[in-house]
């Protein structure tokens, strides 16, 4: 069962080529659309079913569906660079079990989104709130203006404030939509108001008002993603637990990084190749501090909730 509600809302990279080409034409990516249309015609009919999702190019960051997940631990060491580790390499923080957390959006980098120039990005973040004996499925929306090749002007943007952690850990899901429809862009201005900049504030017990608000946020994302000139770009799930399975991910205080990468046999993503540079606030290549990650990524922070 898909509790996040986005099981039938594929990103641009997961669409069949014909559908992807049509969507790309809506937002002015005619060269990429032409390449998709041409490749679809060149494949023999007998092979089209099994190859309908193969792309004739791999040079665009928005076309990928895989993600690499990294973790940046808190540090006050004054080091010039800080290491980033895979989420499965870190130790879980047992003190967070059955506790409460604050989740913030700390970075949103648009290396390459469909279209060009300035983008209006709709961000939907899902989490499950273990409030007492009840579990609440939460969605929080935010909208950001980001230019191609740059980061959104945000650090520490509250998403969930006082999120209750269960005994098993947390599950997150993120979905981003590139909104190019002029009417929808104007509509999203209300998400930039002060009322939304404080995040979704949660109590220790279930709140009846949370469910309709969460459903409305999810419905907004689904509706806008399907409209003319709007396109879903990133989508990922991340479960954070307290166990030690080799391929799992652990829950701890720090920053979680999700990079939208190609997944091929020619290249393996290694977090050892990248570091965080506190002086610039950027993730850079270990052997070349001028080189930035060439893919779309976002960073969300997890910290202990401090009740006022």
Write down the pLDDT at residue 56.
Answer: 87
* 90 shares its domain with 157: yes
Rg (CA), the chain: 20
308: helix, coil or strand?
coil
CA distances from 305 to 96, 160, 163, 308 (A): 10, 10, 8, 9
Q: Which pLDDT tens digit goes with each residue over 203-215?
A: 655 565 677 778 8
Q: Which pLDDT tens digit goes with each residue over 274-306?
A: 999 999 999 999 999 999 999 999 999 999 998
Q: How do 85-86 and 118-131 pair as beta strands? A: unpaired
Write down the pLDDT at residue 146.
Answer: 93
Q: Tell whether 125 is covered by a domain.
A: yes
CA distances from 293 to 22, 61, 123, 297 (A): 29, 11, 20, 8
* 28 shares its domain with 136: no
Report the 10 Å Cβ neighbour count for 93: 16
Q: Tell whether 181 is covered by a domain.
A: yes
* 36 shares its domain with 80: no
* 150 shares its domain with 42: no
Report the 10 Å Cβ neighbour count for 239: 15
Calpha distance 242→132 (Å, rounded):
19
Q: Tell whether 280 is covered by a domain.
A: yes
Domain endpoint, select from 16, 39, 57: 57
Q: Tell whether 3 is covered by a domain.
A: no
* Residue 119 scores a pLDDT above 50: yes
Which residues are 231's β-sheet partners? 178
The confidence band for 1, taking pLDDT boundaries of 50, 70 and 90, is very low
Residue 124 and residue 105 in contact, taking contact as beta carbons nearer than 8 Å: no
Q: Tell whether 153 is covered by a domain.
A: yes
* 34 shares its domain with 89: no
Q: Which domain holds residue 78?
A: 58-304
Q: Kindly state the tokens that stand for 181.
A: 């429809």
The confidence band for 5, taking pLDDT boundaries of 50, 70 and 90, is low
* 25 shares its domain with 80: no
Domain endpoint, select from 41, 57, 73: 57
Q: Tell whether 144 is covered by a domain.
A: yes
User: Of 8-12, 22-26, 107-111, which range is least confident?
Assistant: 8-12
* 44 shares its domain with 72: no
* 95 shares its domain with 44: no
Calpha distance 114→229 (Å, rounded):
10
* 190 shares its domain with 222: yes
* 131 shares its domain with 121: yes
Query: How confident is the prediction for the chain on average, in pLDDT?
Result: 86
Q: Tell whether 2 is covered by a domain.
A: no
* Residue 178 scores a pLDDT above 60: yes
* H helical segments located in the chain: 17-26, 30-42, 45-51, 182-187, 210-225
* 51 shares its domain with 114: no
User: Of 12-26, 32-46, 100-114, which range is least confident?
Assistant: 32-46
Write down the pLDDT at residue 234.
Answer: 96
Dihedral, CA atoms, 20, 24, 25, 30, nearest 10 degrees? -110
Calpha distance 209→40 (Å, rounded):
48
Q: Tell whether 276 is covered by a domain.
A: yes
CA 117 to chain centre: 21
Q: How many domains does the chain have?
A: 2
Q: How do 100-110 and 288-292 pair as beta strands? A: unpaired
* 213 shares its domain with 232: yes
């Amino acid at each position: 069962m898909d509790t996040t509600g986005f099981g039938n809302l594929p990103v641009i990279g997961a669409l069949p080529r014909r559908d992807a080409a049509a969507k790309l034409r809506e937002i002015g990516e005619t060269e990429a659309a032409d390449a998709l249309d041409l490749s679809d015609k060149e494949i023999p009919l007998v092979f089209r079913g099994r190859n309908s999702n193969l792309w004739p190019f791999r040079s665009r960051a928005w076309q990928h569906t895989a993600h690499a997940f990294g973790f940046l631990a808190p540090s006050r060491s004054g080091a010039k660079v800080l290491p980033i580790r895979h989420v499965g390499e870190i130790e879980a923080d047992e003190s967070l079990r059955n506790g409460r957390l604050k989740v913030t959006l700390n970075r949103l980098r648009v290396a390459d989104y469909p279209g060009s120039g300035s983008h209006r990005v709709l961000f939907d973040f899902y989490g499950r709130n273990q409030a007492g004996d009840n579990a609440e499925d939460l969605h929080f929306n935010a909208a950001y203006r980001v230019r191609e090749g740059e980061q959104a002007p945000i650090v520490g943007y509250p998403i969930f404030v006082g999120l209750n952690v269960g005994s098993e850990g947390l599950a997150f899901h993120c979905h981003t939509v590139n909104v190019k429809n002029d009417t929808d862009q104007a509509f999203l201005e209300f998400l930039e108001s002060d009322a939304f900049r404080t995040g979704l504030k949660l109590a220790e017990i279930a709140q009846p008002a949370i469910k309709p608000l969460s459903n409305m946020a999810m419905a907004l994302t689904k509706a806008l993603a399907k409209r003319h000139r709007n396109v879903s770009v990133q989508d990922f799930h991340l479960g954070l637990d307290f166990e030690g399975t080799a391929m799992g991910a652990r829950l701890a205080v720090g920053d979680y990084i999700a990079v939208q990468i190609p997944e091929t046999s020619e290249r393996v993503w290694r977090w050892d190749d990248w570091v965080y540079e506190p002086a610039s606030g950027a993730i850079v290549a270990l052997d070349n501090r001028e080189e930035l990650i060439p893919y779309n990524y976002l960073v969300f922070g997890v910290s202990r909730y401090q009740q006022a």
